[in-house]
Amino acid sequence: MKKIPAWLAAQETEKDFWDGIIREDHSILRVLADNSEKAPQIRSSLPRSCQTALEVGVGPFGLGIIGFMPEIPHRFAIDPLPPVALGSSPEDDTPLQRFIRIRRQPIRYAVGCGEEIPVKSGSMELVICCNVVDHASDPEAILREIHRVLQPNGLFYFDVHTISLLGLAKWHSHTKHAHKDEILVKAHPHRMYEASVEGQLRKAGFKSQRLYGHTFASNLVGHARASIFLGTK
């Protein structure tokens, strides 16, 4: 796997971030709410009952979105960072930490990178990857690997923050230099443009449908937003 220097620095920043928020109930609740809200949309998009699912870049809470889909019997997760430490024992957990511990227990978690997924080809009916590839070393390699591990007609739920053409120009000319020591820059080796993402999905072999994203105007001068896609193999 190609590890660019910006990604190595991003991982240090990410670890500090997650180690911090596990001690803050309001931050934990925000992450859990964001993840839980996506589960019904994915569930409604599945054409049939799903037996196997993988979340790439699940986050070191260890449950991600897949933690809110308990009806899937075989759930797997991968992230470059190890799971954040909870209490030294279940008895020492806060109520929210206990919730995380219980929810992530059935999920098989592996420390690894989406560019090299340790899963057999064609073994997953569903793959989820949300708010990940702009933090990664090689976004296109992640999409290729996800395509590899999906079964034929498998479903890929994917989102990524994308910025406008004006936002890209501002990022490269100002933001990444003026804010180089802030998490906004340090945790994002890449900034994505929606049309480029759609091209990367096609190049990886996916047929994709955009569920949410930019308008014509916001694509030119708007604020960043999450572009959401459903892909099939």
**Of the listed ranges 5-9, 56-60, 207-211, the one predicted with least confidence:** 5-9
What the block records as the tokens of 204 is: 């990886």
The pLDDT value recorded for residue 91 is 76
pLDDT at 87 over 80: no
The pLDDT value recorded for residue 190 is 95
Q: Does domain 5-161+191-213+225-232 have CATH number 3.30.70.100?
A: no
pLDDT at 148 over 90: yes
The reported pTM is: 0.94
Q: What is the average pLDDT across 103-122? A: 96
CA distance 97 to 10: 25
DSSP string, 34-86: HHHHHHHHHHHH-SS---EEEEET--TTS-TTGGG-TT-SEEEEEESSPPPP-
Could you report the per-residue pLDDT of 13-58, keeping only the tens digit for each?
999 999 888 888 999 999 999 999 999 999 999 988 899 999 999 9
If DSSP states are collapsed to H, E and C, what string results for 104-146? HCCCEEEECCHHHCCCCCCCEEEEEEECCHHHCCCHHHHHHHH
